[in-house]
Structure 1
Amino acid sequence: MADEDLATRAPESDAAEQSTIPGDSKVDQGSASLGEHCTTDRPTPSGAKPTGELTKFDDIDVYITKPADYPHSPSKLLLLLTGGTGVHSTNNQLQADKWATEGFLVVMPDQFAGDPAPTTNTSTSTTSPTLIEQVKLGFATVAKSFTIDMWLARHTPETVLPRLHRVLSAMREEFADAVANGGGVYAAGYCFGARYVLLLGSNVDEETARGDRASESTAEEGMAKHGAAIKVGAIAHGTLISAQDFAKVEVPVGIVAVENDSLFPDDVREKGVKSLRERSVEVVEEVYKGVPHGFAVLGDYEEAAIVEKQGQAFAQMVGWLKGH
């Protein structure tokens, strides 16, 4: 597989060739990386406090937040998947609350089983670093990369997808009215969570859905199919996504992307979008310029342009899901 086919090669890695089977646990997670925006929250908006509640679905932590007029007014059920900071992040909870104000009944699960991404600070100085500080920074960067890679190795499709399917099953039972009202479950994913929106929207065999490689002979024998678990998806600046992750997506997908994003490169996105269009799967994409990876996740920025585009991206995702 060519380097450009994977959206997450660490710049310091000379990675081995990698599998492109959707959900394949054999993808070399040691060559993958996450950006700062995937593992560290921006400052929380002043005075903002989450309004939902933490509970458990099938022994998995979930954050649930509802429209103010639910259940008196009908709602649509949204599965919200986060970046590496996870379900206990105040910013992610506030993001879920924003979705609820748009009329969605939101369930945000703990994809990581109590093990959110590590956040090692590699900064040593606010001024030009000395030679010693540069050496320390280099070691810290390598150490952080190793720590993130180890974390990624613990959180692959074969561990994350079963949790999500358990939560989805509980969601459908608990909020059957919202499922019926929307004609299925909607999904939105940011950073790490974006790839899982694609996988949940795919029609794959049982082993691939669990993260195992299915042999051609097994597939030819008529292995049971695991159809799309969601009705429609919206993703923002995904990570760990390969072009092949789009290959079996069968639900409409809305994409928020960042120009020149090393974690979700243009060619990966373009190949994925081409694949969807060739199979007549509805897709829309918007590439935002002058913003960092992770900009669509709620959090304060000093730059007014980023704040404005964060609002535009949210409106794009909301509009896309409401339109379906």
Structure 2
Amino acid sequence: MANNDIATRAPESDAQEQAEAPAEQSVFPGDTRAQEGPSMGEHCTSDRPTPSGEAPTGDLTRIGGVECYVAKPADYPHAPSKLLLLLTGGTGVKSTNNQLQADKYASEGFLVVMPDQFDNDPAPNSVDMTEISQEASWLESIKLRTAEGIKSFMIDMWLARHTPEKVLPVLHKVIEGAKEEFADAVANGGGVYGVGYCFGAKYILVLAGEHPDTIAWGPAAPKDEEQGTINKEPVLKAGAVAHPTMLTKEDLVAVKSPVYFAAVENDPMLSEEDVLTPGRRAMETNKVEHEIQVFSGVPHGFAVYGDYEDSKIKQSQAQAFGQMLGWIQSH
């Protein structure tokens, strides 16, 4: 495990600040939260400001019947490329920042396919609690906090609509369609590569794993009479992820392809004790090539493309991109 603690101070780290507050109850009497523990933070559901003067250059198209943003190197197909699957956080495929992030990988020689894994249903935006000023009246504060409670409940309901049973079949359709449409890029790279952020990071790790369960592979998973369900090999040749949400220890235990992991120190969206540490030990035991880099003093979601006032967070974002790019280039 490679630790790289970057001493930055992040005033935007609202995800950490929210996690320190007492857990909110549903605003609807008799209702309970759909998810236990932290689900998704502000950085998973809201874009940072887009850097001035930048605009996406890729195209929205359909692959395997699923809407995708496709970014190609400027000299493709005259020069060889490699196929890269990019999975986003809750802001989805039509987010300008996510499209610009795809363009950045394309400028480095990857043919990038970024699918709409949410079927035109991106996550509802969260209310920024910094809007509650010290001068706000008691009633105004209550209204804003109630709105945040409603948004939190809406996000839980959104997550309930986007489970592995719903998301993974969509991703498999896209991957199979992309392998057929861009067979030259797959052949040139010797397989499909993947990068993922927040919500999408979990699924990159799943696709980098070996799974016997029908949830990951659809209802028609083949069975062997003596051994039971046959394990499916990883879909991805290598993957790189940043600050996953909804990740489980089992996701990491199943990983078989080389993976790079940009983690946030004390991330409220990822338990180090219950998920990251035992997952790392499992990869070591299974002799899976991996690297886990820990960034300190940055908010969850920092690696997603977008503008920050804090120059040190900008540096961390650029460093995470460089590490993720370097990993998939070297594999």
Number of the residue aligned with 2:139: 132
Count of paired positions: 300
**1:76-127 per-position Cα deviation (integer Å, ceiling 9, x unaligned):** 1100000000000000000000000111110000000000000142545344
Q: Partners of 2:128 and 2:146 in 1: how far apart?
A: 9
Q: Partners of 2:248 and 2:189 in 1: how far apart?
A: 30
Root-mean-square deviation (CA), in Å?
2.3
Number of the residue aligned with 1:283: 290
- Counterpart selection for 2:308 from 291, 296, 301: 301
**1:221-274 per-position Cα deviation (integer Å, ceiling 9, x unaligned):** 521332211111100011000122111111011000111111123222122111
C-alpha distance 312-219 of structure 1, shift in aligned 2 (>3 A): farther
Q: Partners of 2:325 and 2:63 in 1: how far apart?
A: 25
C-alpha distance 195-135 of structure 1, shift in aligned 2 (>3 A): same
Q: Partners of 1:196 and 1:180 in 2: how far apart?
A: 23
Number of the residue aligned with 1:25: none
Q: Partners of 2:145 and 2:225 in 1: how far apart?
A: 47
C-alpha distance 13-76 of structure 1, shift in aligned 2 (>3 A): same
Q: Partners of 2:288 and 2:230 in 1: how far apart?
A: 22
Q: Partners of 1:115 and 1:219 in 2: how far apart?
A: 40
**1:254-313 per-position Cα deviation (integer Å, ceiling 9, x unaligned):** 000111111123222122111111100000011111111111011000000001111000
**1:25-44 per-position Cα deviation (integer Å, ceiling 9, x unaligned):** xxx95225100000000000
C-alpha distance 89-219 of structure 1, shift in aligned 2 (>3 A): farther
Q: Partners of 1:121 and 1:98 in 2: how far apart?
A: 29
Q: Which amino acid aligns with 2:57?
A: T
CA contact (8 A) 2:65 2:173 kept: no
TM-aligned CA deviation for residue 210 of structure 1:
4.4
Runs of 4+ in 1 over 4 A off after TM superposition: 217-221
Q: 2:182 matched to 1:175? A: yes
Number of the residue aligned with 1:12: 23
Q: Which amino acid aligns with 2:304?
A: V
Q: Partners of 2:313 and 2:214 in 1: how far apart?
A: 41
Q: 2:315 matched to 1:311? A: no
Aligned counterparts, 1:204-283, within 5 A = 204-210=211-217, 221-267=227-273, 268-283=275-290
Number of the residue aligned with 2:122: 116
CA contact (8 A) 2:132 2:141 kept: no
Secondary structure, counterpart of 1:115 in structure 2: coil
Q: 2:153 matched to 1:146? A: yes
Q: 2:51 matched to 1:40? A: no
Q: Partners of 1:167 and 1:286 in 2: how far apart?
A: 29
Secondary structure, counterpart of 1:294 in structure 2: coil
TM-aligned CA deviation for residue 12 of structure 1:
2.0
Q: Partners of 2:133 and 2:295 in 1: how far apart?
A: 29
Q: Partners of 2:265 and 2:92 in 1: how far apart?
A: 25
- Matched residues, percent identical? 54
Q: Partners of 2:218 and 2:92 in 1: how far apart?
A: 21
Q: 2:106 matched to 1:100? A: yes
Structure 2 regions of 5+ residues with no counterpart? 1-18, 26-32
Q: TM-score, normalised by structure 2?
A: 0.85
Number of the residue aligned with 1:88: 94
Q: Which amino acid aligns with 1:315?
A: G
Number of the residue aligned with 1:159: 166
Structure 1 regions of 5+ residues with no counterpart? 1-7, 15-27
Q: Which amino acid aligns with 2:90?
A: G
C-alpha distance 227-87 of structure 1, shift in aligned 2 (>3 A): same
Number of the residue aligned with 1:24: none
**1:108-160 per-position Cα deviation (integer Å, ceiling 9, x unaligned):** 00000000000142545344443223322332222111100000000000000
Number of the residue aligned with 2:79: 73
